[in-house]
Amino acid sequence: MSEYLYYPGCSMDSSGRSYRDSLEAVTAPLGITLREIDDWNCCGATEYLGLSRLPAYALIARNLALAEQARNGTNTLVAPCSACFLNLSKTNHAMAEDAAFGAQVNDALAAGDLHYDPDSLRIRHLLDVVVREVGLETVRSRVTRPLRGLKLAPYLGCMVPRPDYDGRWSDPEHPSELDRLLAALGAEVVDYPLKTECCGGHMTQIGPSTAFSMIRRLVDAAERAGADMMVTICPMCQMNIDAFQGEMNAHFHTSHRMPIVFFTQVMGLAFGMAPEAVGFGRELVDARPALARISDEPVPEAEPARVRRPGRPKGPALPMPQMPEAGEVTR
């Protein structure tokens, strides 16, 4: 059992209920314990930073200080919410990078008898922990009901792979981590090129037409890719695409119905849990009908790819550039 400090964030108790329920259900099979930071406060999302800098960072740093106090053997702080993850890691980075600014933040924290030493915590998103610490082998070994036949569009949104202060993600625009996790669950992962494009963030509140075009683009692309549902790692993305899909449809006179769920939900499903036990049914665009596509028929083992001798194909087409193998460094 690996233990992690845990910062849930506000939405886990409200719009992200299904994220919380499913996360609580999968921690045991994954072999992780999440120790919630006592008396944490809201991270301010993207709102406080827009009003004033130092108070915004101080608000976030209070959580870092509380987590540092609670370390007791582990120094990894996990956040399931993208905005929370980004804010925590942004604050740690800003304090470490600019010592004078770090001192100012600590000056403010001192008013509440708190202190945070920059870089004393490692701040990671839940997906990063599942893929890199728990590992896909462990995930695969827990799968009792592979999601065969279910076509999933991996959607990370922007704030986890970008700006990636600690250099953890395979690419800031086309990261492969979520794809690999979903594939490990036995699902069919569709190529979803918009996987890190923005869901509109707070624009659903302050500039709805901007947000609606973004939501439409994402939902439309998922449909074109043939996805049964989108799978996300961010409560804000889930909320915007799920809850505002109706209003978006009304705005554009369209009739998209693309469900979106959390990656922990499909993990729970593949681990053999009942859909409702991992929060299915709470979404406004119901994802449950699509679950009927999961086939219990074992897929015949694909024949190992034959080593192909490069040959000259018939016809006039020009060869495509040869792409590097996964992980190959091209420079």
Partner 1 sequence: MVLAESTNHAIADPGRVFLEEVIARTGPSCRLDMCIQCGTCGGSCPSADDMDHTPRTLFAMIRAGMREQVLRSNTPWMCVSCYLCTVRCPQDVRITDVMYTLKNMAVASHAYPDSTAPDFSRAFIRNVETFGRSFEVGLTAQHYLRHYLTRLPSMAPMGISMLRSGRMGLTPPRRIRGMRGLKRILARAKALEAAS
Partner 2 sequence: MNAERQEGASAAPDAPEDLRIGVYVCHCGSNIAGTVDVGAVRAWAETNLRDRGVVVARDYRFMCSSLGQELIEEDIRERGVNRVVVAACSPHLHERTFRTACENAGLNPYLCELVSIREQDSWVHSDRAAATDKARAIVAGGVERVRHHEELRPLRVPIHPATLVVGGGIGGISAALELANAGYPVYLVEREPSLGGHMAQFDKTFPTLDCSACILTPRMVEAGSHPNITLLTYSEVENVSGYVGNFTVTIRRRARQVDEETCTGCGVCWEKCPVNVIDTHFEAGLGYRKAIYVPFAQAVPKYPVIDREHCTYYLKGTCKACEKFCPPQAIRFDQEDEILTVEVGNIVLATGFKLFDARRIPQYGYGRLPNVFTSLEFERLSNAAGPTGGRVVLRDGVTEPKSVGIVHCVGSRDRAYNNYCSAICCMQSLKFAHLVREHTGATVYEFYIDMRTPAKGYDEFYQRLLEEGTVFIRGKVAAISPGAGTPEEDGKLVIHVEDTLAGRQRRIPVDMVILSAGIEPQDDAKEVAKQFGISCSFEGWMIERHPKLDPVATMTEGVLLAGTVQGPKDIPATVAQGAAASARILGRIQQGEIALEPVRATVDASMCSGCRICNDLCPFNAIVFHEDRMVTEVNPALCQGCGTCIAACPAGAISGTGFSNEQILAQIEGLLMERVARPVEREAVPA
Q: Which one among 304, 310, 314, 326 touches partner 2, defined by CB under 8 A?
A: 310
Q: Which does residue 59 touch among partner 1, partner 2, none (CB within 5 to 8 A, set by kind)?
A: partner 1
Q: Which stretch binds partner 2 (CB under 8 A): 5-13, 107-115, 168-176, 230-238?
A: 168-176
Q: Is 17 in the site for partner 1 (CB under 8 A)?
A: yes
Contacts of 140 (CB under 8 A, 6+ apart): 184
Q: What residues have CB less than 8 Å from 69, skipping those under 6 apart?
A: 114
Which partner, partner 1, partner 2, none, binds residue 312 by CB below 5 to 8 Å per kind? partner 2
**Alpha-carbon gap, residue 73 to 240, rounded angstroms:** 37
* Interface pick for partner 1 out of 18, 22, 91, 232 (rule CB under 8 A): 18
We find the least distance from the C-beta atom of residue 139 to partner 1, in angstroms, to be 27
Any idea which residue has 């554009």 for tokens? 252
Q: What count of other Cβ atoms lies within 10 Å of the Cβ of residue 98?
A: 13
Q: Which helix (H) or strand (E) holds 91?
A: helix 82-97
| Residue 64 Cα distances to 34, 85, 95, 235, angstroms | 16, 11, 11, 21
201 binds partner 1 (CB under 8 A): yes
Pick from partner 2, partner 1, none: which does 137 bind, CB < 5 to 8 A by kind? none
Main-chain dihedrals φ then ψ at residue 12, nearest 5 degrees:
-60, -25
Least separation in angstroms between residue 199's CB and partner 1 is 8
Pick one of partner 1, partner 2, none as the site partner of residue 17 (Cβ within 5 to 8 A by kind).
partner 1
User: Quick one: which of 267, 34, 314 has its CA closest to 145?
Assistant: 267
Q: Is 298 in the site for partner 2 (CB under 8 A)?
A: no
CB distance 177 to 170 below 8 Å: yes
Binding of partner 2 by 316 (CB under 8 A): yes
Residues 173-192 that bind partner 2 (CB under 8 A): 173-174
DSSP annotation string for 225-291? TT-SEEEES-HHHHHHHHHTHHHHHHHHT------EEEHHHHHHHHTT--GGGGTTT-SSS--HHHH
Interface characters, 230-259, with partner 1 (x: CB under 8 A) = -------------xx-xx--x---------
d(CA 42, CA 99): 24
- Rule CB under 8 A: say whether 206 interacts with partner 1: yes
We find the least distance from the C-beta atom of residue 226 to partner 2, in angstroms, to be: 14
8-state DSSP, 11 = G
Q: Interface with partner 2 includes 330 (CB under 8 A)?
A: yes
State the nearest-atom distance from the C-beta of 274 to partner 1, in Å: 17
Residue 50's binding partner among partner 2, partner 1, none (Cβ under 5 to 8 angstroms by kind) is: partner 1
The tokens describing 297, both together, are: 């028929």
| Residue 171 found at the interface with partner 2 (CB under 8 A) | yes
Q: In the complex, what is the shortest distance from the CB of residue 182 to partner 1, in angstroms, rounded to a whole number?
A: 22
Q: Quick one: 300 or 319, whose CB is closer to partner 2?
A: 319
**Binding test (CB under 8 A) with partner 1, winner from 74, 75, 101, 188:** 101
143 touches partner 1 (CB under 8 A): no
Q: What is the rounded distance in angstroms from the CA atom of residue 186 to the CA atom of residue 203?
A: 35
3-state class of 149 per DSSP? coil
Using the contact rule CB under 8 A, the part of the chain among 119-127, 201-209, 297-305, 322-330 near partner 1 is 201-209
Distance CA(312)–CA(295), nearest Å, equals 39
Chain positions contacting partner 2, by CB under 8 A: 171, 173-174, 193, 220-221, 224, 309-312, 315-324, 330-331
